[in-house]
Amino acid sequence: MDSLRFVIQPTGVAKVVLNRPDKKNAFNGEMIARLREIAEVINKDREIRVVNLIGEGSFFCAGADLEWMRKQTTNSLEEKSREAMELACMLKAWYNIGVPVLTGVQGGAFGGGLGLVVLSDEVIGARDTWFSFSEVRLGLIPATISPYVHRVLGNKTGGKLLLSGRIFSVEEAQSVGLVDEIVPLDTMESALIQKTASYLEGSPEAIKSTKRLLREYGEPITDEKIKKTVQALIKVWEGEEAKEGINSFFLKKKPSWSSNAGDI
């Protein structure tokens, strides 16, 4: 089964579906490579005017597949470097998409999956959807998504969510600007279609030019920043806490550093 479905409709709407529902649409090496490839195709196809990004099944995206992550902790330095750079380049490719990206989120968006939400121009969230930058609770860091999170949420709001790794509601996600509209799950598809239609009313080239201008404002996402995130991720993959955190997940137990409020 292909990890992604990609269809370009006659209207110029490109539909991208994360398609690993049995794994909560978590990224593995294949999906990361395909996401990058699709982003590059979108940027080269002048007929594409809007992108719709959704997840198959009950959960939008759980972030990186922890089987894939566990493999990185034992890979050679060369393999770690290659995989970390591929992840970073995929996110940069989605950041560079020149047309509006509208995303529908249901169930949950964690880790790198929430990174894709951050990279979207407009987000519709289904009720009872949950979010988390969960990396630190697993002994990992949100390295490759951090420049985009900082650009959208800033140091204060972004920092609280990145540093705690806590789970937060779709209502809170809306309050900080990660979600634009909350709808019942059974109306999310129609809401996404309605939102998409509004972008098809504008001049394609004018919209692309406007998005380019918006990207030039604020903090630039430079190659140097990307390189630093890759180096930081590699360092964490080589550490003991990442191994413990990931192994604890599979053993369904808490890592040694985890405490409940009742323990304080």
CATH 3.10.20.740 fits 4-206, yes or no: no
Give the largest Cα separation in the chain, rounded.
58
Cβ–Cβ under 8 Å, residues 182 and 171: yes
How is residue 29 written in tokens?
């090496």
149-204, pLDDT tens digit by residue?
999 999 999 999 999 999 999 999 999 999 999 999 999 999 999 999 999 999 99
Strands 13-18 and 4-8: antiparallel
Give domain limits for the chain: 4-206
Q: For the sheet containing 4-8, what is the strand order?
A: 4-8, 13-18, 50-55, 101-105, 122-126, 181-183
199-242, pLDDT tens digit by residue?
999 999 999 999 999 988 877 899 999 999 999 999 999 999 99
How is residue 222 written in tokens?
């430079």
Which helix (H) or strand (E) segment holds residue 8: the answer is strand 4-8
Question: What pLDDT is recorded for position 232?
Answer: 96
The chain-wide mean pLDDT, for the chain, equals 95
